[in-house]
Amino acid sequence: MGLEIERKFLVKNDSWKKEVSNSFSLKQGYLSSNPDRTVRIRITEQSAFLTIKSKSQGISRQEFEYTIPLNEAKELLLLCEKPIIEKIRYLVKIESHTWEIDVFEGENKGLTIAEIELSDENEEFEIHAWIGKEVSDDSRYFNSNLIACPFNSWEK
C-alpha cells in the first residue's frame, strides 16, 4: 500500500516557468469519482496508469498505482465519466522536492495548480513567490470533482 501526502496551491504568476525541467500532456478520466474511493485512468504520450485512491484524511490518503497497456487505457478512457481531464504537467525541481504544476485545458482551462508530495504531513518546504493560496482542503480543486463541476462553470 502506498501513502500519498500532497498539498495543493493555486499559482499566482508565471515565474515558475523559467525553472521547468520537464513537461508532458496528460489525459485522465474517472471510472469512479466517489469521494470514498476514486478509480482513475491516466494517459501520457507513452504510458498509462490505473490508480485507486482512498478518501483523504487531511492531506493524506492511500494510493495504489499500476502501469497498464496504453491501448487498453485508451479503451478504458472511453468508459470514464465526462468530461475527461486534460492538462499539461510541468515539473519544477527545487531542493529535494519536485513541484508538479498542472495547467488545465478543455473545460478547466484557466486553472493552474501546483502540487507537492511530502514524506510526512509536517514536512517543511519553501513557499516560492509564484505559489498562491493553499487549496489542499478545498474539494472543488480535486481532479475527480473537476469532472462534475468544471472550473469554467464556477461563478467568478
| Cβ–Cβ under 8 Å, residues 89 and 115 | no
- The residues annotated with a catalytic role in the active site are 30
CA–CA separation, 70 and 73 (whole Å):
5
Q: Provide the residue type at 111 as one letter.
A: L
Question: In which element (H, E) is residue 145 found?
Answer: helix 143-146
Question: In which element (H, E) is residue 93 found?
Answer: strand 85-94
